[in-house]
């Protein structure tokens, strides 16, 4: 078993929370994990990515080699495209459709969607809408984790264990909100998945 995941987004959008949650889920499964993240200046609204590698064998590199990612999980549409050189020919791209416009030359969203749809295994979903329906507009990132979860070889219980661990410090209510968000994202993809 080997999953190489690129997490993509903009500094402040919560990709490190996604990474930490997957990390907890991986520990629950007693698998090997390496996860490289970006700290420092880029976190101020710049493009950020995290390389997350899961395997039952020992993992050598902290960075995923080009053309090897089994999944690009992005919380922002333009950012999902930035890491395409990493995607393997069988890999999936799963992205949120809501743009984060913090640069003057942000491209036309329909053009971005066209590019995303050109990828043979891609899914684009409105995580904000799904999060709102699930009860928390601020849980878009966890909706995206739910949406990507069918493409990661970890059982649902382990993801939910991870959410409990990561949000546990913030109280039971936060755990439940994020569990709902996770389940809503996952259900949306399972219902709409095109294989």
Partner 1 sequence: MQKLLLLGDEAVAQGAIDAGLSGIYGYPGTPSTEIMEYVQRSKEAAERNIKRKWSANEKTAMEAALGLAYAGKRSMVCMKHVGLNVASDPFMNAAITGVNGGLIVAVADDPSMHSSQNEQDSRFYGKFALVPVLEPGNQQEAYDMAYKGFELSEKYRIPVMLRLTTRLSHSRAGVKRFSVKEQNKLILPEDPKQFVLLPSVARVRYKHLLANQPNFGEESDGSGFNKYYDGEDKSLGIIACGIAYNYLMENYPGRNINHPVLKLSQYPIPKKMIDRMTNENKEILVLEDGAPFVEEMLKGFQEKGTPVRGRLSGDIPRDGELNPNIVGKALGIEQKIGLPVPEVVKNRPPGMCKGCGHIDVFNALIEALGEKLEGRVFSDIGCYTLGALPPFNAINSCVDMGASVTMAIGAADAGLFPSMAVIGDSTFTHSGITGLLDAVIKNSPITLIISDNLTTGMTGGQESAATGRLQSICEGLGIDPVHLRKIEPLKKYHDKNVKVLKEELDYHGVSVILAERECIQTTARKHKEEAKKQQVATNQSKRVV
Establish if 36 lies at the interface with partner 1 (CB under 8 A): yes
**Residue 47 vs 187, nearer CB to partner 1:** 47
Residue with tokens 């993509």: 8
Looking at the Cβ atoms of 27 and 156, the one nearer to partner 1 is 27
Contacts of 122 (CB under 8 A, 6+ apart): 92, 93, 94, 95, 116
Site size for partner 1 (CB under 8 A): 58
Q: How far is CA 82 from CA 21, 68, 71, 133, in A?
A: 23, 15, 13, 29
Q: Does 156 bind partner 1 (CB under 8 A)?
A: no
> Could you say whether residue 98 binds partner 1 (CB under 8 A)?
no
Taking the complex as a whole, the smallest distance from the CB of residue 128 to partner 1 amounts, in Å, to 19
Which 117-146 positions form the footprint of partner 1 (CB under 8 A)? 119
Answer yes or no whether residue 102 interacts with partner 1 by CB under 8 A: yes
Report the DSSP beta bridge partners of residue 32: 55
**Cα 62 off chain centre by:** 18
3-state helix, strand, coil in the chain (%, to 5): 50, 20, 30
Residues that bind partner 1 (CB under 8 A): 10-11, 23-24, 27, 32-47, 51, 59-63, 65-69, 78-79, 81-89, 91, 102-108, 111-112, 115, 119, 170-171, 173
């Amino acid at each position: 078993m080997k999953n190489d995941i690129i997490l993509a987004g903009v500094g402040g959008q919560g990709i490190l929370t996604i990474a930490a949650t997957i990390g907890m889920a991986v520990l629950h499964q007693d698998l090997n994990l390496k996860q490289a993240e970006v700290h420092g200046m880029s976190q101020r609204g710049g493009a950020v990515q995290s390389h997350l590698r899961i395997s039952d064998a020992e993992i050598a590199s902290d960075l995923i080699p080009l053309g090897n990612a089994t999944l690009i999980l992005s919380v922002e549409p333009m950012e999902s495209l930035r890491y395409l050189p990493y995607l393997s020919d069988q890999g999936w791209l799963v992205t949120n459709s809501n743009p984060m416009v913090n640069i003057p030359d942000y491209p036309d969203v329909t053009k971005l969607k066209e590019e995303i749809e050109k990828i043979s295994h891609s899914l684009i979903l409105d995580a904000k809408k799904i999060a709102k329906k699930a009860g928390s507009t601020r849980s878009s990132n966890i909706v995206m984790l739910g949406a990507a979860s069918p493409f990661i070889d970890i059982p649902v219980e382990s993801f939910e264990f991870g959410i409990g661990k990561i949000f546990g410090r913030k109280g039971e209510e936060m755990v439940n909100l994020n569990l709902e968000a996770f389940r809503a994202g996952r259900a949306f993809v399972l219902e709409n998945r095109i294989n």
